[in-house]
Amino acid sequence: MSTAFRTCPVTRLKVHSQADALIKANAVAATIFLIVGGIAAFLVLLTRWQVVHLLDAAWFYRMLTIHGMSMLIFFILFFEMAVLYFAGPVVLSSRVPAPRIGWLSFVVMAIGALTVEWAMWTGRADVMFSSYVPLKAHWSYYLGVILFAVGALTVVGLFFASLVVAKRERTYEGSIPLVTFGALTAAIIAVVTLGHGAAIYIPTFLWSIGVMHVDPAVYRLVFWGLGHSAQQINLGAMVALWYMLGALTVGAVVLNEKISRSAFVLYILFINMAAAHHLLVDPVAGPAWKVWNTSYAMYLAVLASMVHGFTIPAGIEVGQRLRGVTQGMFGWLRKAPWGDPGFSSLIFSIVIFGFVGGITGVTFGTEQINLIAHNTLRIPGHFHATVVGGTALAFMGATYYLIPLIFRKQVAFWPLAKIQPYVFAFGMLVFTMAMTFAGTFGVPRRHWDITFSNTSFDLQYSPAVDLVIGIMAVGGLIAALGGAMYVLVTVWSVFFGRRFDLETVKTGGQI
Residues 386 to 445: which contact ligand HEM by CB under 6 A?
Answer: 387-388, 392, 445
Return the bridge partners of 16, or none: 5
Q: Is residue 64 involved in binding ligand HEM (CB under 6 A)?
A: yes
Nearest residue (CB) to other proteins, 454 versus 507: 454
CB of 167 to ligand HEM, least distance (A): 33
Strand, coil or helix: 446: coil
Distances (CA, A) of 441 to 428, 434, 444: 20, 11, 9
Decide whether 291 or 419 has the Cβ nearer to other proteins. 291
Contacted entry of other proteins, ligand HEM, none for residue 318, CB cut-off 5 to 8 Å set by kind: other proteins
Q: Which residues between 338 and 397 bind ligand HEM (CB under 6 A)?
A: 380, 384, 387-388, 392
**Cα torsion angle, 67, 69, 71, 74, sign:** negative
CB of 464 to other proteins, least distance (A): 13
Sort 171 into a burial class: Cβ within 10 Å, 0-12 / 13-18 / 19+. middle
Q: Are 313 and 350 a contacting pair, CB within 8 Å?
A: yes
Q: Shortest distance, CB of residue 214 to ligand HEM, whole angstroms?
A: 19
| Cβ(236)–Cβ(304) below 8 Å | no
138 makes contact with ligand HEM (CB under 6 A): no
Output the CA–CA distances (angstroms, integers) from residue 236 to 84, 230, 240, 433, in the order listed: 11, 10, 6, 24
Q: What are phi and psi of 331, to 5 degrees?
A: -55, -35
Site string for ligand HEM, 445-474 (x = CB under 6 A): xx----------------------------
Q: Using CA atoms, how far apart are residues 67 and 42, in angstroms rounded to an integer?
A: 9
- Residue 430, SS3? helix
C-alpha 179/C-alpha 498 separation (Å) is 29
**Could you tell me if 306 and 312 are in contact, meaning their C-beta atoms sit under 8 angstroms apart?**
no
Q: Which of 144, 404, 476, 497 binds ligand HEM (CB under 6 A)?
A: 476
Q: With CA atoms as reference, report the closest residue to 102 among 16, 5, 225.
A: 16
Of the pair 37, 151, the CB lying nearest ligand HEM is at 37
- Residue 480 interacts with ligand HEM (CB under 6 A)? yes
Please pick, from the candidates 21, 28, 111, 128, the single residue that binds ligand HEM as defined by CB under 6 A: 128
Helix axes 257-270, 298-322, angle to 10 degrees: 160
Query: What minimum distance in Å lies between the beta carbon of 104 and other proteins?
Result: 29
Cβ count within 10 A of residue 3: 6
Q: Say which amino acid occupies 445.
A: R
- The distance of closest approach from Cβ of residue 82 to ligand HEM in the complex, given in angstroms and rounded to an integer, is 15
The 3-state DSSP class for residue 296 equals: helix
Pick the binder of ligand HEM from 13, 25, 32, 45 (CB under 6 A).
45
| Residue-wise burial string across 386-399, b where 16 or more C-beta atoms lie within 10 A, e elsewhere | bbbbbbbbbbbbbb
Q: From the list other proteins, ligand HEM, none, pick the one residue 140 interacts with, judged by a Cβ distance below 5 to 8 Å according to partner type.
A: none
| Residue 388 region by backbone torsions, left for phi larger than 0, else alpha for psi between -120 and 50, else beta | alpha
| Residue numbers 264-303 binding ligand HEM by CB under 6 A | none
Whichever of 47 and 105 has its CB closer to other proteins, that residue is 47
CB of 100 to ligand HEM, least distance (A): 30
Smallest distance from other proteins to CB 73, Å? 17
Q: DSSP characters for 168-204?
A: HTT-SSSSPPHHHHHHHHHHHHHHHHHHHHHHHHHHH
**Count of residues touching ligand HEM (by CB under 6 A):** 24
Residue 380 interface partner, choices other proteins, ligand HEM, none, CB cut-off 5-8 Å depending on type: ligand HEM
221 is a contact residue toward ligand HEM (CB under 6 A): no
Nearer to other proteins, 458 or 503 (CB): 458
Residue 324 DSSP one-character state: T
277 binds, among ligand HEM, other proteins, none (CB under 5 to 8 A by kind): none
Stretch binding ligand HEM (CB under 6 A), from 282-290, 408-416, 460-468, 479-487: 479-487
Identity of the residue, 71 or 83, whose beta carbon is nearer to ligand HEM in the bound complex? 71
Between CA 143 and CA 119 the distance in angstroms is 10
Residue from 74, 129, 141, 353 in contact with ligand HEM (CB under 6 A): 129
492 touches, from ligand HEM, other proteins, none (C-beta below 5 to 8 Å by class): none
Residues that bind ligand HEM (CB under 6 A): 41, 44-45, 48, 64, 67-68, 71-72, 75-76, 128-129, 380, 384, 387-388, 392, 445-446, 476, 479-480, 483
